[in-house]
Structure 1
């Protein structure tokens, strides 16, 4: 009978689109095949209207949560309700709002996954709490007692568990992790390798002719110096295999410019927000290969928004390599001057010295050279020398840093801190000139060297 439904708490599933409704049955109309709920909840949220009516055609599933007077969920006779929502004897649910209609075989008893609802959300006439309004009536009250974390943790016997793990690993041939009471024989830093490895060989480069000085990298690898004649032969063999002068100039220019950018402040100085403080670099070059390396470096620095002033005196005859580098440099925003008088009067950020060459010491006697040296020594800016020569005489321009190519030369103390750059010489080229070589560069192209 339709009256048997009244007062029951039901849950009506109307599918994905309309959702799930819960509430107390207030009316059942057999003729129109509708069911009405009062004080309804929609998907756990209380509806703004006091009553909602559903049509049997919209109902996918109907569950009885509680029958009045029984104290527990039951299942009234749904045999009169057809699958299409029509009723043969009694009424069926559905509405203009989407809901679920009970079908034959649908379970109305509470299963283990269903929560037991309260009979009603009011106690002694008191107002519903906010939780009741949010989550609906048919929910059991949560437990009042707090979970005892300390007591539960005390039930865990860590020593016994670790003992079982150790026994199991030994049976399976696995390495034991040890128990908490065992002391660790040694501790490792986050960057140390805990796996056993072969001992490091720090002397991985040996040369047939020693230059008289030895250096080491930050990781302790020994890098010996070589005499200029052996260095010259190494470059000649590399050129014969295809490492042309143009390639070496480009590599030297890139490495020197990267080092200069770091000396100028790197990302702290060269940012789009700091364009009003572009660093200024004075580049002093002579008419030789070392001067061409400096011009290549100046081009790369100018491409990175560094203000470059290139000093190169006028000569009747220029090397082809210098002419080519000047053509490329002319396409940048760099400035070229041929007189020391056109160099800045105020200190610049960095001076790059490429005045000297390895084989022509007579350039030091020329007027332009002495004038450029005097300007550099008076400017009070730090000096970076690129590929400085080995000289028994005191260096005319005292440098704070010097950059060597491939392998270091035995430079004088006035060369400052020594750096080494990789210009791309293959390992077999070193071997052909009698050098047992393993690259000391690691992941970098420019590394610092320390005197031993």
Structure 2
């Protein structure tokens, strides 16, 4: 009956000390109560000896991995004197009795029958074992085979790795030693020297082919047409020119041409009300940025709301300032609007005041009602392009003196041209559509888009390409 075990693949568990062995049964000796495995694996690593012999006392558990013949194994009893008899019937695992933990499986260097000593245990030759955590190329995890569609399933490891596993060396590859053989400096030196000899030619590829230019990460490698920086042409050369951050030239226009441009835009439907709304949005957005933007206007900073003082006169520029104040008040800015009492006002100012009154902003008509302490920002809309006599009015002088004495920065919206003196020194000035030739007292000039189409510019003789890009307010630099 013992011959029925020959050729079967089994797994033998010898306890925590000796570990688990797998292999093909080469012999079973019922007299000495031993079983031998050829081509053994110990804890998943192939053994260095061709055969291993186990005593029945060392075996804790025995599992059949591949059945070559149909048989039944009779469980062995506890103790050294057991009957290790196998009768062919069916496959079941044999759970044997306990053995001393210091028992050692017998290792034989060849396939001959081992000589037994007293107790039926063969002498143990010297051999080395690798740790179970070290997985080598010969490691294979045996699995139970099953039947599929009546056929016998092959072991997946055998299908993957095939035969010839004994020829794989046990030594690990020395990565560090192999990397030390590579002289990186010498290789790069050879590449550079070949490029110098080729006078800029590539070291690989077609001989004589020139090396392409090297580009920065922010440069476009595609060839493009040269950039035309003067894209706006005016019929009359202005006295001053500006440029954007990208280098586009923005010429200034005279006030007469500015009036013709606005009249042409109004004839096409861009009414005064629409221009006031657009100017108010752009100016308020610029003012919000000057006030600190998202760093200042947050829900957690409601106890430190910024304060803006608006100084407006009875003209279109004053209506633009009131529109700006309405948008600022809608963004939780504390707005104080100064506008003197007049018997007759523009219809645009009346409608803008009605909307501003719905925001909760403060309206004052006397300079004495303005804050005595510095505010965060002063927006100046006192000046008019056409009526210069307003500067002689007492309310105008009082408001200008208050703005100059208050230590807050000043933003002027649509200030007058250079021929007129600026009563209030501004840090920033906002021009509409195209800039006017402003004097140095206007501070840094910004330009806002009020929505005038390109064809309207062409009607008044201006060749126009928008310099705004993705923004509605851009800074201008003096040439």
TM-score (norm 1): 0.70
Tell me the CA shift for residue 360 of structure 1.
1.4
Distance 1:151 1:397, change over 3 A: same
Partner in structure 1 of residue 99 of structure 2: none
Tell me the CA shift for residue 348 of structure 1.
0.7
Q: Say which SS state the counterpart of residue 37 (structure 2) adopts.
A: coil
Q: Say which SS state the counterpart of residue 431 (structure 2) adopts.
A: strand
Answering whether residue 306 of structure 2 is matched by residue 259 of structure 1, we say no
Tell me the CA shift for residue 376 of structure 1.
0.6
Measure, in 1, the Cα distance between the counterparts of 2:355 and 2:4: 97
Answering whether residue 146 of structure 2 is matched by residue 102 of structure 1, we say yes
Distance 1:333 1:227, change over 3 A: same
Partner in structure 1 of residue 387 of structure 2: 360
Answering whether residue 462 of structure 2 is matched by residue 441 of structure 1, we say no
Contact 1:75 1:108 in 2 (8 A): no
Specify every segment of 5 or more residues in structure 1 that has no aligned partner in the other structure, as ranges. Answer: 11-22, 27-37, 40-45, 51-63, 82-87, 94-98, 117-139, 179-183
CA displacement, residues 42-98 of structure 1 (integer Å, 9 cap, x when unaligned): xxxx9xxx9xxxxxxxxxxxxx765552124894415679xxxxxx931257xxxxx
Answering whether residue 68 of structure 2 is matched by residue 77 of structure 1, we say yes
Measure, in 1, the Cα distance between the counterparts of 2:2 and 2:311: 105
Greater Cα offset, 107-116 or 234-243: 107-116
Partner in structure 1 of residue 46 of structure 2: none
Partner in structure 2 of residue 334 of structure 1: 361
Answering whether residue 339 of structure 2 is matched by residue 312 of structure 1, we say yes
Distance 1:323 1:176, change over 3 A: farther
Contact 2:338 2:366 in 1 (8 A): yes
Measure, in 2, the Cα distance between the counterparts of 1:315 and 1:352: 21
Contact 1:210 1:227 in 2 (8 A): no
Partner in structure 2 of residue 277 of structure 1: 304
Aligned-pair RMSD on alpha carbons? Answer: 4.0
1:14-33 map, 5 Å: 24=12
Tell me the CA shift for residue 370 of structure 1.
1.6
Distance 1:193 1:315, change over 3 A: same
Answering whether residue 226 of structure 2 is matched by residue 199 of structure 1, we say yes
Contact 2:145 2:153 in 1 (8 A): no
Tell me the CA shift for residue 351 of structure 1.
0.3
TM-score (norm 2): 0.66
Q: Indicate the structure (1 or 2) with the bigger Cα radius of gyration.
A: 2
Partner in structure 1 of residue 320 of structure 2: 293
Partner in structure 2 of residue 388 of structure 1: 415
Following TM superposition, where does structure 1 have runs of at least 4 consecutive aligned residues deviating by more than 6 angstroms?
1-6, 155-160, 165-168
Distance 1:335 1:147, change over 3 A: same
Distance 1:231 1:108, change over 3 A: closer
Q: Say which SS state the counterpart of residue 476 (structure 2) adopts.
A: strand
CA displacement, residues 257-312 of structure 1 (integer Å, 9 cap, x when unaligned): 12112211223322333332221111111121111111111122222222211111
Distance 1:197 1:102, change over 3 A: closer
Measure, in 2, the Cα distance between the counterparts of 1:176 and 1:112: 51
Answering whether residue 434 of structure 2 is matched by residue 407 of structure 1, we say yes
Contact 2:322 2:356 in 1 (8 A): yes
CA displacement, residues 131-162 of structure 1 (integer Å, 9 cap, x when unaligned): xxxxxxxxx988374444524655997879x9
Tell me the CA shift for residue 241 of structure 1.
1.2
